[in-house]
Amino acid sequence: MAAGRKGSRTVQAAGSPVVLGPAALAALQAWTIAEARHVRHFILGDENTLRHCLPELQGHVPALREAHIMAVAPGERSKSVDVCHALWSHLAAEAADRQAVLIALGGGVVTDLAGFVAATYKRGIPVVNVPTSLLGMVDAAIGGKNGIDLDGIKNVVGTIRQPVGTYVHVPFLRTLGKRELMNGVAEMLKHGLVNDAKHWKAVCAAALHDLKALEPLVLRSAEIKAAIVDEDPQDADKRRLLNFGHTIGHAIEARSWESPQRGLLHGEAVAVGMVCEAWLSWRSELLAREALDEITVVVRERYRPHHLDPVDHHRILQLMANDKKNADDRFRFTLLEAIGRGRINVEVTAAQVSAALDHYRLLMRDGPKEAV
């Protein structure tokens, strides 16, 4: 880790600097002046981030006051080929050349979309990430995964390409509601579970409404994510640790959006996935019963139960089979050996996944005693 400008520090994620701390936006101003003064800047945000965060960004980074602004609708639907088309056309109409810099100001949807548009426009222009959501700060904006959705499958088209920098300014979180914050907290809990037992305890004990208390934990989570990416940028090995809770979680998220009610946020689905996958870790004799119970209690106290129907199992398994993380028709999970230690590439059968879903359903219906 390198000390950056006063009040910021920088960690590397596969050669891409992640600047953390109160002076992160001052560091972006310095970078813009030093490296990108004479190029055109395009800021991509959604209607919320452009209203609530753009004035603060431009206040701290005067070099971006003349930037060209591009807006998309908030929400996952913007991660589409049609929206990419509109953005590519817009850049071309503005005669953006290969030196132009695209600045993504938003949560995971905006950074995923901007990363993909920047990777493909004129065979690649630089992208800078300025995450505004907790999920973005600790996960989506770091590590270079970008992409859009196709035919209901998330992130099925995309690349891994590092941003030229990621600037994490925690005060943007002031604009978020509790549900949005909890969306990111799920990833912070995951970072503790797979990599750092002390961080798990700290996140469990944190007063989440207190941004001052939350800030060092956000920065620690961003640091854990960056360090894992740094070891394995292409997601061939260690980065798979970050998949804990996601193999089942992604499918539950996708399934929830197929129903007429509003679906689950990513972190809410990952919370369900973490309970199921912690249970699989215990059933596979990797994880102690006490650790499973601790994880279950923490998640149950923080996240509303999600209603799972037994008739959904088949569809959830089908969605898992489509997921890019699985190969050879077998499910490869990241499970836990202990709180603070994940294990990648554990093979799990469809029947075991179904049993884990049953476990979650009964746990939410009857409580922990009947769940075993």
Q: Which residues bind ligand GLY (CB under 6 A)?
A: 139, 143, 145, 235, 239, 242
Q: Which is nearer to ligand GLY, 139 or 312 (CB)?
A: 139
- Shortest Å distance, C-beta 75 to ligand GLY: 19
Q: Residue 242 or residue 319: which is nearer to ligand GLY going by CB?
A: 242
Residue 4 or 184 with smaller CB distance to ligand GLY: 184
Structure-token match 């059933």, residue found: 283
208 sits in the region (left: phi over 0; alpha: psi -120 to 50; else beta) called: alpha
* Minimum separation from the CB atom of position 232 to ligand GLY (A): 9
Least separation in angstroms between CB 190 and ligand GLY: 9
Indicate the residue among 60 and 225 with the shorter CB distance to ligand GLY. 225
At its nearest, how many Å lie between ligand GLY and the CB of residue 148? 15
Strand residues in the chain grouped as ranges (E) = 2-3, 9-13, 16-20, 41-46, 68-72, 101-106, 127-131, 148-150, 153-157, 165-168, 331-338, 341-348
Q: Which residues neighbour 85 within 8 Å (Cβ) at sequence distance 6 or greater?
A: none
Give the integer Cα–Cα distance in Å for 362 and 305.
11
List all residues 6 or more positions away from 288 whose beta carbon is below 8 Å from its beta carbon. 282, 338
Residue pair 281/356 in contact by the 8 Å Cβ criterion: no
**Do the beta carbons of residue 110 and residue 49 sit within 8 Å?**
yes
List b or e across 171-205, with b for residues whose CB sees 16 or more CB atoms inside 10 angstroms: ebbeebeeebbbbbbbbbbbbbbbbbeebbebbbe
Q: Give φ, ψ of 243 to 5 degrees.
A: -80, -5
Closer residue to ligand GLY in complex, CB, 10/111: 111
CB of 250 to ligand GLY, least distance (A): 10
Nearer to ligand GLY, 156 or 364 (CB): 156
Report strand pairing: 165-168 vs 127-131: parallel
In the block, residue with structure tokens 């209607």: 47
Distance CA 209, CA 226 (A): 25
| Residue placing its CB nearer to ligand GLY in the complex, 40 or 239 | 239
Min CB(242)–ligand GLY separation in Å: 4
Q: How distant is the alpha carbon of residue 240 from its chain centre?
A: 14
Residue 346: CB minimum distance to ligand GLY, A: 17
In whole angstroms, the minimum distance from the beta carbon of 193 to ligand GLY comes to 14
The conformation of residue 212, written as its DSSP 8-state character, comes to H
